[in-house]
Amino acid sequence: MFIDEAEIEVSAGKGGNGCVSMRREKYIPQGGPDGGDGGDGGSVYLEATQGVDTLLDMTGRHHWHAGNGEHGMGKKKAGKDGEDLVIRLPPGTLVYDRNTGLLLADLTPSGRKICIAEGGRGGRGNVHFTTSTRQAPDFAEPGKPGQSRQLKLQLRLIADVGLIGMPNAGKSTLLSRVSAARPKIADYPFTTLEPQLGIAELDADRRLVLADIPGLIEGAHKGAGLGLDFLRHIERTRVIVHLVDMIPMSGPKPIEAYHAIREELAAYSPKLAAKPEILVANKMDLSGAAEALADLRSALPGKQILAISAATGTGLRPLLEALWQQVQKAPLGEAFVDAPPAAAQTDDDLAAEISAIKADDLRKGKYYRREPEKVEQLSIRASNQKGKRKKMTRKMSVPQKKR
């Protein structure tokens, strides 16, 4: 099943709390604090993976969570970092923020990997908060929560050539003749209900990726038929092949069908209408097709029209050669601009923060403190005994009696 839209919620892992611990060893009466740092929470990554062709896996699972970091321990032992979560998506997927509609990333080309939700930083243990006047801090920093996002995923196929046209114009038949793809083919409209990809090999060193877009009808840019669901897949193609049925069983005439599709492309996106186009007259093996082709060429003077028969294979090789030349001239598909990533905290920022904490005891209230009965208190005995004063003896002169 082809699924090209999905909504998911991703949550990065929470950082582990810093540890409040005091060193207690034999013969070391004043060991001092030795609480370790909490582990960092796991982050959520999105990766464009070759071989993944649909968003089907996203529809069955809406919540994706990375691992939490473990809490710090005594003896300056840091907690284990949470495990990262990698979500594999088809190349060409656009990632939007569901709440704001902001484009966050364009997963193009294959292999691109981005961090969509950063894990929370682990809290610092009480060993970091000692000062000259605070030798036994009984608090530590709690772990910070990880980022959470609600995402809307939208797949836009990546292909060199997009096949468009009215329903039953022969697009699926053409794709099956020039590639190994096997789309459904029948003698009624809207046989293709989802886009199909195929690879046409001209020779060992030249190949084209073709996308069969379901049939468009008048009003497609407003949602008529299957238009809105699949018009966006044409945006990434470099060249458009516009197939026209020369002998339609019903519906508009060839020239009317051509103008109707062109108007729909322009109404949906002016950039899409400006893409290079090759007009192809199909079903030339039927009776009366030659006269219809002559009428079409007279109605479109100066427009190059290639005549083929997808059913019999006539004219397919010249069409592929023309497509190859046009693709080499055409610019690459439009690259969508990503939102700027959030700035991460550097080591210098972290060192400055620790220095500020040590210099300002008023910030103590924002840090994690354990319950009194759970804190390993360091026994510091202040000696109140004062050293004995040496008694100062003073010799007194005693007058002697006269005899």
Tokens matching residue 283: 């079903």
Instruction: Round to whole Å and give the CA distance between 107 and 48.
Output: 6
Pure H helices in 128-193: 171-178
Distance of CA 325 to the CA centre of its chain: 34
Do residue 248 and residue 141 come from a single domain? no
199 exposure class (CB count in 10 Å sphere: 0-12, 13-18, 19+): middle
- Report the b/e string of 67-104 with b at 16+ CB within 10 A: bbbbbbbbebbbbbbbebbebebbbbbbbbeeeeeebb
Alpha carbons within 13 A on the beta-carbon side of 65:
7
Find the CATH number of the domain harbouring 14.
Answer: 2.70.210.12
Give the pair of three-digit tokens for residue 59.
């529809």
Tell me if 385 is assigned to some domain.
Answer: no
Which of these three, 300, 329, 358, is where a domain ends? 329
pLDDT per position in the chain (403 positions), as tens? 567 789 999 999 999 999 999 988 888 777 889 999 999 999 999 999 987 878 888 888 899 999 999 999 999 999 999 999 999 998 888 899 999 889 898 888 888 999 999 999 999 999 999 888 888 898 999 999 999 999 999 887 767 888 888 887 888 888 888 887 766 555 544 555 567 778 888 887 788 888 887 756 455 444 444 445 556 667 778 888 999 999 888 778 899 989 888 888 888 778 888 888 999 999 999 989 999 999 999 999 988 899 999 889 999 999 999 999 988 887 665 544 444 444 444 556 556 655 655 555 444 445 555 544 433 333 333 333 334 444 444 444 445 555 5
- Residue 191 burial by Cβ neighbours in a 10 Å radius (0-12, 13-18, 19+): middle
123 in a domain, yes or no?
Answer: yes
165 and 147 part of one domain: no
342 is a domain residue: no
> 147 and 191: one domain?
no
Residue 56: predicted pLDDT: 82
Q: Is 57 left (phi over 0), alpha (psi -120 to 50) or beta?
A: alpha
Q: What is the pLDDT of residue 134?
A: 87
Identify the CA nearest to 20 among candidates 126, 123, 134, 141: 126
Residue 229: per-residue pLDDT = 57
- The CATH code of the domain that includes 203 is 3.40.50.300
Q: Are residues 142 and 199 in the same domain?
A: no
Burial class (CB in 10 A: 0-12, 13-18, 19+), 149: middle
- Residue located via tokens 């209900």: 193
316 in Cβ contact with 310 (< 8 Å): yes
295: tokens are 């009428």
Same domain? 197 vs 55: no
Number of domains in the chain: 2
Looking at the structure, tell me whether residues 147 and 120 fall in a common domain. yes
Residue 183 and residue 248 in one domain: yes
CA distance 297 to 184: 31
β partners of residue 8: 151
Domain that holds residue 99: 5-155
Whether residue 383 is contained in a domain is answered as no
Q: What length does the chain have?
A: 403
* Spatial contact of 120 and 43, defined as CB atoms under 8 Å apart: no
Q: Is residue 363 part of a domain?
A: no
pLDDT at 193: 56
Q: What integer pLDDT is reported at residue 131 of this predicted model?
A: 87
- Per-residue model confidence (pLDDT) at position 372: 45
Same domain, 166 and 300: yes
Residue 327 φ then ψ, to 5°:
-65, -40
Domain end point (choices 266, 295, 329):
329
Residue 283 domain flag: yes
Residue among 253, 244, 265 at smallest CA distance from 174: 244
Residues 176 and 278 in one domain: yes
**Which residues have a Cβ under 8 Å from the Cβ of 93 and sit 6 or more positions away?**
46, 48, 55, 106, 107, 153, 154, 155, 156
DSSP state for residue 80 in the 8-state scheme: P
The model's pLDDT over 290-309, given as tens digits with 9 standing for 90+, comes to 999 999 999 999 888 999 99
Query: 103 - beta bridge partners?
Result: 96
Mapping DSSP onto H, E and C, the string for 219-274 reads CHHHCCCCHHHHHHHHHHCCEEEEEEECCCCCCCCHHHHHHHHHHHHHHHCHHHHC
Beta pairing class for 277-282 and 206-212: unpaired
Statement to judge: residues 187 and 143 lie in one domain: no
Q: Residue 326 — φ and ψ, nearest 5°?
A: -70, -35
- Give, for 59, the enclosing helix (H) or strand (E): helix 56-59
pTM above 0.75, yes or no: no
Q: What is the mean pLDDT of the chain?
A: 78
What span, in angstroms and rounded, lies between the C-alpha atoms of 227 and 215?
8
